[in-house]
Amino acid sequence: MDKIFIRDLVARGIIGVNDSEREKSQEILINITLLVDLRAAGESDCLDDSVSYRTIAKRALAHAESAARFTVEALAADLAKLCLEDPRVQRVIVRVEKPGAVRFSRSVGVEIERTREDFA
Protein backbone atom coordinates (compact mmCIF):
# COMPACT_ATOMS: atom_id res chain seq x y z
CA MET A 1 0.00 0.00 0.00
CA ASP A 2 1.20 3.50 -0.83
CA LYS A 3 1.67 6.11 1.87
CA ILE A 4 1.28 9.85 2.21
CA PHE A 5 2.89 11.19 5.34
CA ILE A 6 2.84 14.38 7.37
CA ARG A 7 5.76 14.61 9.79
CA ASP A 8 6.18 16.77 12.87
CA LEU A 9 3.14 18.99 12.47
CA VAL A 10 3.23 21.30 15.49
CA ALA A 11 -0.06 22.47 16.99
CA ARG A 12 -0.66 24.57 20.09
CA GLY A 13 -3.68 23.51 22.06
CA ILE A 14 -5.17 22.47 25.37
CA ILE A 15 -4.46 18.84 26.18
CA GLY A 16 -4.12 17.13 29.53
CA VAL A 17 -5.95 16.34 32.74
CA ASN A 18 -4.12 18.57 35.23
CA ASP A 19 -5.41 22.06 35.96
CA SER A 20 -2.12 23.59 34.79
CA GLU A 21 -2.48 21.78 31.43
CA ARG A 22 -5.99 23.15 30.97
CA GLU A 23 -5.00 26.80 31.54
CA LYS A 24 -2.83 27.55 28.52
CA SER A 25 -2.00 26.02 25.18
CA GLN A 26 0.95 23.70 24.91
CA GLU A 27 2.84 22.16 22.04
CA ILE A 28 1.33 19.04 20.47
CA LEU A 29 3.38 17.13 17.92
CA ILE A 30 1.41 15.23 15.26
CA ASN A 31 2.53 12.66 12.70
CA ILE A 32 0.10 11.16 10.22
CA THR A 33 0.57 8.37 7.68
CA LEU A 34 -2.25 7.84 5.19
CA LEU A 35 -2.38 4.50 3.41
CA VAL A 36 -3.77 5.20 -0.05
CA ASP A 37 -3.65 3.73 -3.54
CA LEU A 38 -1.59 6.33 -5.43
CA ARG A 39 -1.34 4.55 -8.80
CA ALA A 40 -3.86 6.83 -10.52
CA ALA A 41 -2.13 9.97 -9.25
CA GLY A 42 1.23 8.59 -10.34
CA GLU A 43 -0.08 8.04 -13.86
CA SER A 44 -2.10 11.23 -14.24
CA ASP A 45 0.12 13.67 -12.31
CA CYS A 46 -3.15 15.22 -11.10
CA LEU A 47 -3.89 16.18 -7.49
CA ASP A 48 -7.54 15.22 -7.96
CA ASP A 49 -6.39 11.59 -8.15
CA SER A 50 -4.65 11.80 -4.77
CA VAL A 51 -5.31 12.95 -1.22
CA SER A 52 -4.18 16.49 -0.46
CA TYR A 53 -1.71 16.39 2.41
CA ARG A 54 -2.13 20.14 2.73
CA THR A 55 -5.88 19.78 3.33
CA ILE A 56 -5.38 16.96 5.84
CA ALA A 57 -2.68 18.93 7.68
CA LYS A 58 -4.81 22.07 7.89
CA ARG A 59 -7.81 20.12 9.22
CA ALA A 60 -5.67 18.21 11.73
CA LEU A 61 -4.04 21.41 12.96
CA ALA A 62 -7.35 23.22 13.34
CA HIS A 63 -8.85 20.30 15.26
CA ALA A 64 -5.85 19.83 17.56
CA GLU A 65 -5.83 23.52 18.41
CA SER A 66 -9.55 23.67 19.22
CA ALA A 67 -10.52 20.25 20.62
CA ALA A 68 -9.23 20.72 24.21
CA ARG A 69 -9.09 16.95 24.78
CA PHE A 70 -7.98 15.45 28.08
CA THR A 71 -5.93 12.61 26.57
CA VAL A 72 -3.60 12.16 23.64
CA GLU A 73 -5.49 8.92 22.97
CA ALA A 74 -8.73 10.82 22.36
CA LEU A 75 -7.03 13.41 20.15
CA ALA A 76 -5.34 10.67 18.12
CA ALA A 77 -8.71 8.95 17.60
CA ASP A 78 -10.27 12.27 16.52
CA LEU A 79 -7.52 12.84 13.98
CA ALA A 80 -7.74 9.28 12.64
CA LYS A 81 -11.47 9.68 12.10
CA LEU A 82 -10.93 13.04 10.41
CA CYS A 83 -8.40 11.48 7.99
CA LEU A 84 -10.69 8.57 7.17
CA GLU A 85 -13.46 10.93 6.08
CA ASP A 86 -11.70 10.96 2.71
CA PRO A 87 -12.92 7.76 1.02
CA ARG A 88 -9.55 7.25 -0.70
CA VAL A 89 -7.79 6.80 2.65
CA GLN A 90 -7.91 3.08 3.42
CA ARG A 91 -5.98 3.11 6.69
CA VAL A 92 -4.31 5.76 8.84
CA ILE A 93 -1.57 5.80 11.43
CA VAL A 94 -1.66 8.77 13.81
CA ARG A 95 0.99 9.63 16.37
CA VAL A 96 0.30 12.37 18.93
CA GLU A 97 3.02 13.51 21.32
CA LYS A 98 3.34 16.00 24.15
CA PRO A 99 6.93 17.26 24.13
CA GLY A 100 8.37 17.80 27.59
CA ALA A 101 5.39 16.28 29.40
CA VAL A 102 7.58 13.91 31.41
CA ARG A 103 10.77 15.04 33.05
CA PHE A 104 13.95 13.76 31.36
CA SER A 105 12.09 12.74 28.19
CA ARG A 106 11.88 14.51 24.86
CA SER A 107 8.19 13.63 24.54
CA VAL A 108 5.48 11.11 25.40
CA GLY A 109 2.48 10.09 23.38
CA VAL A 110 0.56 7.43 21.53
CA GLU A 111 0.46 5.95 18.05
CA ILE A 112 -2.73 4.37 16.75
CA GLU A 113 -3.70 2.66 13.51
CA ARG A 114 -7.31 2.75 12.31
CA THR A 115 -9.55 1.89 9.37
CA ARG A 116 -12.99 3.20 8.55
CA GLU A 117 -14.49 0.02 10.03
CA ASP A 118 -13.08 0.96 13.43
CA PHE A 119 -15.49 3.90 13.54
CA ALA A 120 -18.59 2.13 12.17
By annotation, the residues acting in catalysis are 98
* Three-state DSSP class for residue 56: helix
Quote the distance between the C-alpha of residue 10 and its chain's center.
10
- The CA angle 87-69-102, to the nearest 5 degrees, is 115
Planar angle of CA 39, 1, 112, nearest 5 degrees: 135
